[in-house]
Every structure is written in structure tokens, then in C-alpha cells.
Structure 1
Amino acid sequence: MEDVAEGTQKTGMSPLSWAAVGSIALSWYYYFGKGNKEMGLFVGLWPPTFLALGSYFKINEIRDDVKRLSRPGSTIRDAVQEMMKNR
């Protein structure tokens, strides 16, 4: 998992983003390259699903950070330091 997180930080793209880009390229290949328009359109429907999954995972990560910050009895400084440690 650390390799995925490290790669995401270096490129700014998660594996799901790369899957979306790859499926767009594959869609173009089928549609324009092979002339198989049905397959091209079918594969072209995948990127929104990949991007929606990526958004879902990111929202859950943000939600967890907010929960850590709003812990009763915790100061903002302590919560931010703990959050930075975990990154």
C-alpha cells in the first residue's frame, strides 16, 4: 500500500485515475483504430465509474481526517500534528 501512496504523491494520479485514462485510450483504439464502434462506446463508459470510485475513496479519507480533528478534548494543534504524522 505504501508504494501506491508514494506513486500517487509523485504523479498526482491514483491507480483509478490511470485506469480511467487507459480506458479512454482503449475506447479510442476500438472506435477509431479497429472500427468497432459498439466496443469503443462500451469501453468509453468505464472512466466515469473509475473516477467515481476514486472520489468515494478520497471523500472517506477526508471524512476520517475530520473525525480525528473533531475528537472531544483534543486541541486543533494536537489534531493537526497527529494528522501530519499519519501522512
Structure 2
Amino acid sequence: MSPLSWAAVGSIALSWYYYFGKGNKEMGLFVGLWPPTFLALGSYFKINEIHDDVKALSNPGSTLRDTVQEMMQNRNR
């Protein structure tokens, strides 16, 4: 899981803690609004990564094999 996914899970737990554990419903609801933002940011970064991969595949003059090997090397860094 990515750090943003962990942040979403953590904020859900923190929201439950405030809402049910401490009885602070306003703070629980406020913190409960964070997970969609974290997940949206994670989706945005993943879409950009896929976009870059597709763009690399469409480079004229490069072979598919070379492009895929380069993508795999970039992912391993």
C-alpha cells in the first residue's frame, strides 16, 4: 500500500477514535473528511505515472522491447 493509502486508513481510525472514543463528534467528522482527499491524491499520482508510461510507449523511433525494459528499470528505482 502507498503512503497515501496508509494515511487514509490512519485518518479513518483517528476519526473513529474522536467520534466514538472521545465523544468529540465534530472533530471525528472533520478528520473523517480526510480519507477521500488522500485517496484522490493517490489516484492522481497513479494516473500520472500511467500517463508517463503510455507516453513513453508512443515515442517514435523506439522499439517496444526497449521501452518496456526502460519502464521496468524506472519502476525498480
TM-score (norm 2): 0.90
Gaps of 5+ in 2: none
Aligned-residue identity in percent: 92
- Describe the shift of the 1:75–1:44 C-alpha distance in structure 2 as closer, same or farther (beyond 3 A): same
- Describe the shift of the 1:68–1:86 C-alpha distance in structure 2 as closer, same or farther (beyond 3 A): farther
CA shift digits 1:6-53 (9 cap, x unpaired): xxxxxxx11111110010000000000001111101100000000000
Gaps of 5+ in 1: 1-12
- Describe the shift of the 1:30–1:86 C-alpha distance in structure 2 as closer, same or farther (beyond 3 A): closer
Give 1:76 deviation, angstroms. 1.2
Larger relative CO (CA 8 A, sep 6+): 1 or 2?
2
Between the aligned partners of 1:66 and 1:86, the Cα distance in structure 2 is 18
TM-score (norm 1): 0.80
CA shift digits 1:37-71 (9 cap, x unpaired): 11101100000000000000011111111111110
Between the aligned partners of 2:71 and 2:11, the Cα distance in structure 1 is 34
2:44 is aligned, of 45, 56, 63, to 56
- Describe the shift of the 1:86–1:72 C-alpha distance in structure 2 as closer, same or farther (beyond 3 A): farther
Runs of 4+ displaced beyond 4 Å: none
